[in-house]
Structure 1
Amino acid sequence: MNPEHYYIAAGFNLFTEERELAVLFSGEGKPYPDHQMGPSVHDYYLIHTVLDGEGVFQTGNVTQSCKAGDTFVIFPGTLFSYKADHDHPWHYVWVAFQGEAVQPLLEGIGITLEHPVLHVENTSEVYTVYERLRLSFRQSAYPRLESLEASGWLRLLLHHFGLANLHTLPELPREIPEMINRQIDRAVRWITLQFHQQISIDHMASTLGYHRAHLSKAFKARTGMSPKQYLLKVRMEKAKELLCGYLTIDQVSSSVGFNDALYFSKQFRKWSGMAPSEYRSKLRQDSELL
């Protein structure tokens, strides 16, 4: 047993040559009452998430009591200290990492030297990610693969922190035209590739990080159509292509995302001015004339 902990477990990366993002080590521990680290300085980033109990974290001008769900970040080259509570010492998990991509990644989710503490509600879900990250280091014959796996789990962990920190982020970055254009491009690709599925515009909007009304407004400004109108356009144009072939009307309907062939026929008539069967007959007549 570690002389300063009731319980401690850790995994270490044997391959730390990744320049973009490399996990160094990860662990879990429950220290004794009043156990303290620092004042000290590290040359890497170190994140702790409290699972249970309490303690105090201090860095720069920040001094904060932390309890279950609180996560604190230690920045390289910055003096810090943290101490377990006397009556209810904390139980926490941690991960250390470094790399060229780290600072912009953290800043992008609202973690800075001035705001190094955040709170996550679902500690069990976050704990699972930490555990999978630590268990990536199996000390196998393939440390490079272990390192890749760990960096993937770290990115997922940062994703959780970003979601927890959304309320602290300004809305302005999401209004940058370049970002909106990228999201509209994603929506267009989504519709173009998934038109045969039962697409929910609400689901697509929430996945892209927008309210439906906001996405529809931006989408229409870019394409001249709402997402629903654009989806219908893609489906109808594809239906026209398929009606040139051997598929039945029912099969064409199903292939372009309509479960009801009668409803498909009604929509196709509105779009083209004729029923699918009429459109097909006209195509064949035109072909014979040629």
Structure 2
Amino acid sequence: MSPEHSSYISGFNLIPDEPDLTVLFSGEASPVPGHKVGPSVHDYYLIHTVFDGEGTFQSGSGKIHPCSTGDTFIIFPGALFCYQADTLKPWSYAWVGLRGDAVPALLSRVGITKEQPVIHSEHLSELRVLYEKTRLSFQQSPYPQLESLEASGWLRLLLHQFGYDNRSTLSVPSQAVPSIIDRQIDQAIRWITFEYHQQVNIDHMASSLGYHRAHLSKAFKIRTGMSPKQYLMKVRMNKAEELLRGHLTIDQVASSVGFNDALYFSKQFRKWSGMSPSEYRVEKRNEGG
């Protein structure tokens, strides 16, 4: 243990190579009174959450932020910083170091910016667990390549908790908040978009979303100009056109877009495009040649 801490524990990522988001290390400590770090700079992001006691954090802008129980302060790469434990009530904190192309957008999404590098939380027990889970990711698996993935998952949950605790300061999207039925139509569109290859039952979909089929279909048509069944056919045919440009057989294309019967698929495709799947394939290949 460092003589500057009454307790100190940490874990380190042995394979910090994920370009979008990598947790480098995580730990927790109780510094001695007056313990100071900086002025200094890091080439990574460093997040601290204070679980007890007090101290000060000087951010890259030069502003001094008094921090106490429940406060989280964030050091940005390349920004000069300094932080110091109080001489009478020194803080105890947990930290996590990270880097990656996705980090700036993730931090901004939960309200953390260079201009606002300190946020507050009342849910310390949840945060403590997430920090501990992140740190233990680097100590429990015999497969380092999996440790990094696990740590990234816990970190995302940590950021989610920051965002939830900081939600009163988050900006509201410029567009109006969608109504319940608008949200359900969005769900129905996503349902069809991702499940088109399944035997989609419109009645079941409507029931799962909490609406009678007729009511959902009316609202769906107002939004899209099509019934759910028509929209499903459109999605399937668009995907079939894409697949027919490749090397799957007609049977395989039919199955891939939700048709158990290749002959029925061919009939529907002719209605859609004015030609059979085979004719469409030949035409597109000729265009490509």
Per the TM alignment, residue 2 of structure 1 is displaced from its structure 2 partner at its CA by 1.5
Supply the distance in 2 between the matched residues of 1:173 and 1:183 (Cα, whole angstroms).
20
C-alpha RMSD of the superposition: 3.2
The answer for unaligned runs of 5 or more in structure 1 is 202-219, 235-290
Matched residues in 1 for 2:105 and 2:177: separation?
17
1:66 is aligned with what amino acid?
A: C
Matched with 2:113 is 112
| Per-residue deviation, 1:94 | 0.2
Map 1:168-187 → 2, pairs under 5 A: 168-173=169-174, 175=176, 184-186=185-187
Q: 1:183 to 1:58 in 2, by over 3 A?
A: farther
The aligned residue for residue 159 of structure 2 is: 158
Maintained 8 Å contact 2:185/2:219:
no
**TM-aligned CA distance change 1:78 to 1:145, over 3 Å:** same
AA at the equivalent of 1:75: F
Could you say what secondary structure the match of 2:15 adopts? Answer: coil
Residue matched to 2:5: 5
For residues 88-122 of structure 1, the C-alpha deviation after alignment (integer angstroms, 9 at most, x for no partner) is: 00000000000010011111111110000000111
Change in 2 beyond 3 A, CA 1:46/1:173: farther
Q: Whole-Å Cα distance in 1 between the matches of residues 106 and 175 of structure 2? A: 16
Deviations 1:52-109 (Å, cap 9, x if unpaired)?
Answer: 0000001114211111110000000000000000110000000000001001111111
Q: Give the deviation of 1:25 after TM superposition.
A: 0.2
CA distance in 2, matches of 1:141, 1:42: 30
The residue aligned with 1:143 is 144
2-structure distance, mates of 1:190, 1:16: 36
Paired position in structure 1 for 2:34 = 34
Q: Is the Cα contact below 8 Å between 1:62 and 1:114 reproduced in 2? A: no
Deviation at 1:182, TM superposition (A): 8.1
Q: Distance in 2 between matches of 1:43 and 1:131?
A: 24
Distance in 2, matches of 1:187 and 1:181, equals: 10
Q: 1:195 to 1:165 in 2, by over 3 A?
A: same
From the superposition, tell whether residues 223 and 157 of structure 1 become closer, same or farther in structure 2 (CA, over 3 Å). farther
State the SS of the aligned residue for 2:97: strand
Check 1:113–1:189 CA distance in 2 against 1; reply closer, same or farther (3 A cut): same
The aligned counterpart of 1:19 is 19
SS at match of 1:172: coil
- In structure 2, the partner of 1:47 is 47
Alignment partners' CA distance in 2, 1:165 and 1:27: 23
Question: Structure 2 length normalisation: TM-score?
Answer: 0.64
Contact in 2 for aligned 1:14/1:139 (Cα 8 Å): no
Are the counterparts in 1 of residues 123 and 165 from structure 2 also a CA contact under 8 Å? no
Distance in 1 separating the partners of 2:12 and 2:111: 27
Paired position in structure 1 for 2:103: 102
Aligned-residue sequence identity (percent) comes to 55
Deviation at 1:186, TM superposition (A): 2.9
Relative distance call for 1:100 and 1:90 in structure 2 (3 A) is same
Deviations 1:169-188 (A, max 9, x none): 221356499xx988852366
Deviations 1:187-223 (A, max 9, x none): 66579776556x679xxxxxxxxxxxxxxxxxx9875
Q: 1:44 to 1:181 in 2, by over 3 A?
A: farther
| Match in the other structure for 2:84 | 83
User: What is the rounded CA distance, in whole Å, between the counterparts of 1:174 and 1:143 in structure 2?
Assistant: 44
Matches of 2:161 and 2:97, distance apart in 1: 17
